[in-house]
Amino acid sequence: MKIWVDADACPVVIREILCRAAIRTRTELSFVANHLIPVQPSPFIKSIQVAAGFDVADNEIVKRMNSGDLVISSDIPLAAEVIEAGGLVLSPRGERFTKSTIGARLNMRDFMETMRASGVATGGPPALSKSDRKAFADELDRVLAKAAPTAPT
């Protein structure tokens, strides 16, 4: 399993949690963004800069990922593509997107986009809380533990 991060909007605290987990579990971690994301020196962590533009980073993640890889993103359309390609998706708030939940999330996203386009102020998500960070770290640990190869007996 590799971890791919839609890093343009990923909070710094989540990037730090990911780096610690990648080093601890020796898991390859790639931050993909349209600007260079500074990363700590590690053979497991890299930053991939893509051209600026709508969905360029998203498209690069989908192109590079393999079935079973984990993608970190709150982008619902990207999550749907990753799930369709056999990947796992975790939001920076610790929410797992799955085949059974992504349809409803896409519908809600489209509804809110229609509301905003008609002039309704919908507001954005609340700031990332300590409980969000804990939920993310806990779910990341569960995903990585499940993906870890088991030692022969």
pLDDT over 50 at 151, yes or no: no
Overall average pLDDT of the 110-115 stretch: 72
Q: Is 4 exposed, middle or buried (0-12, 13-18, 19+ CB in 10 A)?
A: buried
- Give CA–CA dist 143/119, Å, rounded: 40
Give the residue extent of every domain in the chain: 3-147
Q: Is 23 exposed, middle or buried (0-12, 13-18, 19+ CB in 10 A)?
A: middle
pLDDT tens track for 13-70: 999 999 999 999 999 999 999 999 999 899 999 999 999 998 999 999 999 999 999 9
The answer to whether the beta carbons of residues 78 and 61 sit under 8 Å apart is: yes
The CATH code that applies to domain 3-147 is 3.40.50
Check the CA dihedral 150-142-3-31 and report its sign. negative
Q: Which residues contact 153 (CB under 8 A, 6 or more apart)?
A: none
The region of weakest confidence among 72-81, 83-92, 95-104, 117-126 is 117-126
- Give CA–CA dist 75/130, Å, rounded: 21
